[in-house]
Amino acid sequence: MAEFLKIKQELIDAVSELDEEKVTELTETALRDGTEPLDILEAVNEGMLTVGRLYESKTYFIADLIMAGLIFKEVLGLEQMTELFHARNKNKIGKVVLGTVQGDLHDIGKDIFRGLMETNSFEVIDLGVDIPKEAFIRKVIEHKPDILGMSGVLTYTIDAMKDVVGALDEAGVRDQLKVIAGGNHLTRENCAYIGADAYANDAFDGVKICLEWVKEKKNQGEL
């Protein structure tokens, strides 16, 4: 960890400068030195925030966002990272249907949440990106999950999230599951607007909430 602190800023800068080769090199070095994969992901995420700011200030363009996405995916695809996301326990504690809502193509945060949930022994049915409410409902009826997870990184997708919850209501299945919305712009207020049971700005917090829900359900004898 002490070793990682020395290169952490270098890694953040390499991500924000879109220096793919350097990011891979630094990540591999850190992993070899025994750095926790989650600490590396946190640093990469910090670099992504800078990329977002540079895009907002028109220093970066859409091609740069694409490059940033590719770099993050490359880091997530490194062997030690995929090992981290490998389900360690075959006994599943709960089922989750997950997807990025209609209008949104961002999937990196969703994929991190999926990986962490699988590591924590959840079965995850990942529907992908740009998922219309009808597809969410179809899969909920088919798989009867304990939890529905919706990802939405674009601020205007809160309406798409609200529509999914409305459709769950209409289909008469809203009270059969918990709903969590994820995205770093979400707040308590827009969570209430969406009608979700909880929200998380961070995949790690989301997993904690889901673990709590499963514990409650078990205590109530429903599992």
- Which residues lie near ligand B12 (CB under 6 A)? 45, 48-49, 51-52, 55-56, 62, 65-66, 68-69, 72, 103-110, 112-113, 149, 151, 153-155, 180, 182-184, 200-203, 206
CB nearer ligand B12, residue 58 or residue 90: 58
In the complex, least distance from residue 221 CB atom to ligand B12, rounded to whole angstroms? 26
CB nearer ligand B12, residue 3 or residue 105: 105
In the complex, least distance from residue 118 CB atom to ligand B12, rounded to whole angstroms? 13
Distances (CA, A) of 200 to 164, 184, 197: 17, 7, 11
In the complex, least distance from residue 7 CB atom to ligand B12, rounded to whole angstroms? 20
Nearest residue to 133 (alpha-carbon basis) of 182, 108, 168 = 168
CB nearer ligand B12, residue 106 or residue 139: 106
Buried b (16+ CB within 10 A) or exposed e, 133-151: bebbbebbeeeebbbbbbb
In the complex, least distance from residue 148 CB atom to ligand B12, rounded to whole angstroms? 9
CA distance 215 to 223: 9
Nearest residue to 149 (alpha-carbon basis) of 175, 180, 128, 177 = 180
In the complex, least distance from residue 191 CB atom to ligand B12, rounded to whole angstroms? 11
CB nearer ligand B12, residue 7 or residue 107: 107
Mark out the alpha helices in 17-61 (DSSP H runs): 20-32, 37-56
Nearest residue to 136 (alpha-carbon basis) of 106, 108, 169, 105 = 169
CB nearer ligand B12, residue 32 or residue 199: 199
